């Protein structure tokens, strides 16, 4: 069957807006559930998009708003939790996917596409983030078998206008003169462009070859974290000496910043960075950081998002 009506959970976020734009451009009916509808009215410039205020962690509200949909896309995830014991990660990465699956089975919704993460592993993941990502992904695929089609995408770090990776380092570099101390500097990534990720989600909707699959997503090149921060500084025209911190100092920094407001860097982040976020095999997405990052780095991200959405709307 063709999946023509899609509900996106996490559709107001960085990746979600791109997926919503791609789906709207193909004439799909898109329903986005948001915690606060008034904060995301910019999405209403997209045709065929319905924005509904709802608490997706309330199973009755979730069922009410996904009923009648052909597919559900789950993009909800966190990089840090308020707690320090994994309970916050479990609520978002395990309990919510299980709730989505239960609702879809109850309402006979035949399709789920799920955002996981590279190195997600319920048993061997070195961090709460990676273990819970793996457990949630496994639950969707195991308990849906034969009853509905699930595809999980496992990306490396995602970049593009409005991202929280290059833009965050850009902000830090601007306020840190001369030398920039960097934890876990040797961790490796294969940054993947948000537009390529959105395309893969949309293409997978009706592609039976993706049903039941766990698909890794990487960009065309690999970099160390130090190389990516140096690239950011160069692109901004800043002269900064990036200092790779020894492992024991990186861990000490994580222990300290874990208790700062907003957790700018946590022990769980440190543990996740023990594994390189690169694809071991398979195809890589085509768009490199050189093709995209210089066009937006250091710009006003909110305005960039609005402009991108307006451009999409004008093309339809």
Which 3 state secondary structure label does DSSP give 184?
A: coil
Q: Does residue 307 fall inside a structural domain? A: yes
Tokens of 250: 């990186």
Q: Does residue 166 fall inside a structural domain? A: no
CA 237/CA 228 separation, integer angstroms? 14
pLDDT in tens, 115-143: 999 999 999 999 999 999 999 999 999 99
Q: Does position 304 have pLDDT exceeding 50, yes or no?
A: no
CA 149/CA 130 separation, integer angstroms? 23
**Tally of domains within the chain:** 1
pLDDT in tens, 262-287: 899 999 999 999 999 999 876 799 99
Q: Which domain holds residue 50?
A: 5-158+191-218+280-285+300-315
Q: Does residue 94 fall inside a structural domain? A: yes
pLDDT in tens, 47-63: 999 999 999 999 999 99
Q: Does residue 268 fall inside a structural domain? A: no
The whole model's pTM is what? 0.92
Domain CATH code at residue 126: 3.40.50.720
Q: Does residue 116 fall inside a structural domain? A: yes
Tokens of 135: 């457990």
CA 159/CA 232 separation, integer angstroms? 12
Q: Does residue 272 fall inside a structural domain? A: no
Which among 266, 161, 145, 275 is positioned nearest to 216, based on CA atoms? 275
CA distances from 140 to 41, 107, 230, 283 (A): 31, 16, 39, 24
CA 94/CA 97 separation, integer angstroms? 6
Q: Is 212 left (phi over 0), alpha (psi -120 to 50) or beta?
A: left
Q: Does position 311 have pLDDT exceeding 90, yes or no?
A: no
Q: Does residue 270 fall inside a structural domain? A: no
Length of the chain: 316
């Amino acid at each position: 069957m063709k999946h023509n009506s899609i509900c996106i959970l996490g559709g107001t976020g960085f990746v979600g807006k791109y997926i919503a734009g791609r789906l709207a451009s193909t004439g799909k009916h898109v329903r986005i559930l948001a915690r606060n509808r008034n904060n995301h009215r910019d999405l209403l410039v997209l045709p065929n998009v319905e924005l509904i205020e709802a608490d997706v962690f309330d199973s009755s509200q979730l069922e009410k708003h996904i009923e009648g949909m052909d597919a559900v896309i789950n993009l909800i995830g966190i990089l840090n939790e308020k707690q320090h014991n994994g309970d916050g990660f479990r609520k978002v990465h395990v309990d919510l996917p299980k709730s989505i699956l239960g609702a879809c089975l109850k309402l006979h919704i035949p399709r789920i596409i799920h955002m996981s993460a590279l190195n997600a592993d319920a048993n061997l993941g070195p961090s709460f983030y990676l273990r819970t990502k793996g457990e949630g992904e496994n639950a969707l695929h195991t308990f849906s078998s034969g009853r509905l089609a699930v595809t999980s995408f496992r990306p490396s770090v995602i970049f593009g206008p409005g991202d929280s990776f290059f833009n965050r380092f850009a902000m830090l570099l601007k306020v840190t003169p001369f030398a920039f101390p960097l934890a876990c500097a040797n961790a490796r990534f294969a940054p993947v462009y948000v537009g390529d990720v959105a395309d893969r989600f949309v293409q997978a909707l009706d592609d039976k070859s993706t049903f039941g699959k766990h698909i890794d997503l990487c960009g065309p090149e690999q970099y160390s974290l130090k190389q990516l921060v140096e690239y950011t500084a160069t692109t901004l025209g800043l002269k900064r000496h990036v200092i790779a911190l020894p492992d024991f100092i990186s861990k000490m920094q994580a222990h300290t910043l874990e208790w700062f407001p907003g957790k700018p860097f946590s022990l769980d982040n440190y543990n996740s960075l023990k594994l390189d976020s690169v694809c071991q095999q398979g195809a890589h997405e085509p768009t490199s950081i050189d093709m995209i990052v210089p066009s937006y780095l250091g710009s006003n991200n909110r305005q960039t998002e609005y402009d991108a959405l307006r451009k999409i709307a004008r093309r339809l």
